[in-house]
Structure 1
Amino acid sequence: MPDAEVVRLDDRADRRRGGEEPPADAPTRRGLAARLLAALGLDPTADSDALAAFLRGRLEGDYPVDEFGFDVELTEQVFLPLLRPLVRSWFRVELRGAENLPTDGPALLVSNHAGALPLDGMVLHSVVFDAIGRHPRMLGADLIFSTPFSADLARKTGTTLACPEDAERLLRAGELVSVFPEGFKGLGKRYADRYKLQRFGRGGFVSTAVRASVPIIPVSVVGSEEIYPLLGRLPTLARALGWPYFPLTPTFPWLGPLGMVPLPSKWVIEVGEAIATDELPPGAADDPMVVFDVTDQVRETIQQTLYALLMQRRGTFF
């Protein structure tokens, strides 16, 4: 600590011992409480009783969740504020095409998936909420819900199981839903295959969107491939652990827990124009050819946008 600061703090301590009041701008318990409130996303001008009430509600289980387990209060006041430094300062995410995000009504966001760990879903949640004030309800794979901590966090922050029934219920309720059709095939791509989209499954997300007559909005993410450059997958060890792959990166597992720190790649997220589904003929959701054509259109749109973004960026980390 600089000498000038030490003297100032010592002088303040002497004044307190002598009964002298500290200066008006000196830190106080109330000021520290305000900082804690701000860190949790609560109003820093509010009384510390607000923090006590928030924590008491957590401990007593007295807080609302929806039928899927989504905890809006926890997400907005704790999860997103903790995530924002990663999004804004570490990855320096730039959102393009925010005008294509619907401010109301149901829609399906469809994005590429990469990065060994599903950080891209959380980052997308953060930037969409900050842009339009809506929570994208992410559809997650079975593995997320078979791990205790992961399952609890996913449910509470708005993720639900990636199945047609849950997706359709959310869309019919007017929610904004996000899906990553590449699944673990996308997350587990080798670094040599970065930004080459994997197969989009069988187009189940298209059938769901068509059945609910909601627009499909393609989302292209550049930067996620470099946070954990995947060099190998160790299939034998992965099967033993029940994982789809065991990630070998330049830092993991060689550096232990430090190897889990993502590299600070520069992210660009571009939201494309909506692809309408309400003009398709009746029964289109059950027509394999229609589903294939729309799926291919969405995939090709994302792939071409990724190529364009890669051509535009100056470098991986700036």
Structure 2
Amino acid sequence: MADAKVIPFDDDRSRGGGTQRPVRRRSPAGGRRMAEPAAAGEAVVSPLPGSQAGDGAADGAGAPPVQSAAAPVVNRASAAQGVSGGAGAADAAGAARDGRKAAEARPTAQERHGAAPGGWDRRIAGGLAFLRRRITGEYEVDEFGYDAELTDQVLMSMLRPMYQKYFRIDVKGIENIPSEGGALVVANHSGTLPLDGLMLQVAVHDNHPAGRHLRLLAADLVFMLPVVNELARKAGHTLACAEDAERLLQRGEVVGVMPEGFKGIGKPFGERYKLQRFGRGGFVSTALKAGVPIVPCSIVGAEEIYPMIGNAKTLARLLGIPYFPITPTFPWLGPLGAVPLPTKWTIQFGEPIATDGYPPEAVEDPMLMFNLTDQVREQIQHTLYRLLVQRRSVFF
């Protein structure tokens, strides 16, 4: 493998040409054409009960269309007005009851994940529709290669058992991520392998009340590995450079960054939960330019999944990787040694730090960059210490 070239997040060189992909839609014939966004003000019409909506359901998000709670109210009120010339109190009460019944009929989060009665029926129907769209090529990816449908239907479903059953992750402070608009989530990095980033992505996807998606910034090495490169793109990851991060934030995305990089993920077990250097404040500059809040995030439990007791540096150089970890089980037990320990995790999202109150020239102030970077780092570090004191055991 060629030597991995790690590009720091705060590098200001332009890399836009190598990290962007055109927005495209696969046509049924197998070719590709540019995806056209909906025109401004274009009305989106939902099918009314009794209409032929089979094709629309197959081309949607995978679940059968659920009638809006507001539709029966409007239609019944209009019908009552056409018959009697005005909506009576009894008709209005009946319409309100119908609206409540329609709202209760919507699938809950448990049903979407198959945990409630009727959830498996919805998942089977959605899976069949998903396969149809994949076979015919009727799906979209954005300019970074993000495939939202594949991520929701497949990748998150593959990671969810590890998230729920293996690491049993508790999430706190998810409401600190805004419901709309851009935000930059800054987290500590650890664990020898970057499982903490994947679990962080599932935590935001499954717990945020607005259903936000986390777009992670990754190092060059991720996009140099076969298979991993394509999966990372499909899952919404992109190169950890300022240009890509700014574009995502200006589009209103929630972006995740782990400024410690390989220094954090490859540190020895004796330095666990001690934050490494956060670079020169590149993530702060990006947040200031986009005017989005910074949400500090502390992850406890990832440090112990692969206790790194040594580093075969010579072998790492030969393989072109930043480090070659030696743990109590790897490489002694072979592939079995690559199984992470089932530690108990906690992910805490802290109070957001606003950046929209600073003037445009603030990004040129090195002292401000240093102060904000240090503020974020200290908030994450103190939260880590507090969570460590509160947890009962590494595994429970």
- Residue in 2 aligned with 1:275? 353
1:82 aligns with 2:158: yes
Say if 2:289 and 2:360, in contact at 8 Å, map to a contact too: no
- Residue in 2 aligned with 1:10? none
Tell me the percent identity: 60
Can you give the 5+ residue segments of structure 1 that lack an aligned partner in the other structure?
Answer: 1-36
Secondary structure of 1:217's counterpart equals strand
Say if 2:268 and 2:310, in contact at 8 Å, map to a contact too: yes
Q: How does 1:147-186 map to 2 (within 5 A)?
A: 147-186=225-264
Q: How does 1:134-213 map to 2 (within 5 A)?
A: 134-213=212-291
Q: Which stretch of the first structure deviates more once superposed, 117-126 or 46-55? A: 46-55
Deviations 1:59-117 (A, max 9, x none): 55432111111111111111111111111111110011122121111000000000011
Secondary structure of 1:266's counterpart equals coil
Say if 2:260 and 2:277, in contact at 8 Å, map to a contact too: yes
Deviations 1:254-275 (A, max 9, x none): 1111111110111011110000
- Residue in 1 aligned with 2:302? 224
User: How far apart in 1 are the matches of 2:135 and 2:310?
Assistant: 42
Secondary structure of 2:186's counterpart equals strand
Give the Å deviation of 1:196: 0.3
User: How far apart in 1 are the matches of 2:354 and 2:335?
Assistant: 45
Query: Alignment partner for residue 121 of structure 1, among 197, 200, 207?
Result: 197
Normalised TM-score (structure 2): 0.68
- Residue in 2 aligned with 1:303? 381
Normalised TM-score (structure 1): 0.84
User: How far apart in 2 are the matches of 1:153 and 1:281?
Assistant: 39
1:69 aligns with 2:145: yes
- Residue in 2 aligned with 1:315? 393
One-letter amino acid matched to 1:275 = I
Secondary structure of 1:114's counterpart equals coil
1:293 aligns with 2:371: yes
Can you give the 5+ residue segments of structure 2 that lack an aligned partner in the other structure?
Answer: 1-111
- Residue in 2 aligned with 1:6? none
User: How far apart in 1 are the matches of 2:347 and 2:143?
Assistant: 30
Name the count of aligned residue pairs.
280
- Residue in 2 aligned with 1:262? 340
Residues 219/49 of structure 1: CA separation in 2 closer, same or farther (3 Å cut)? closer
One-letter amino acid matched to 1:249 = T
Deviations 1:142-167 (A, max 9, x none): 00001121111110001000000000
User: How far apart in 2 are the matches of 1:51 and 1:298?
Assistant: 42
RMSD (CA atoms): 1.8
Say if 2:215 and 2:236, in contact at 8 Å, map to a contact too: yes
Tell which structure's C-alpha radius of gyration is larger.
Answer: 2
Query: Alignment partner for residue 179 of structure 2, among 103, 109, 116?
Result: 103
User: How far apart in 2 are the matches of 1:47 and 1:266?
Assistant: 29
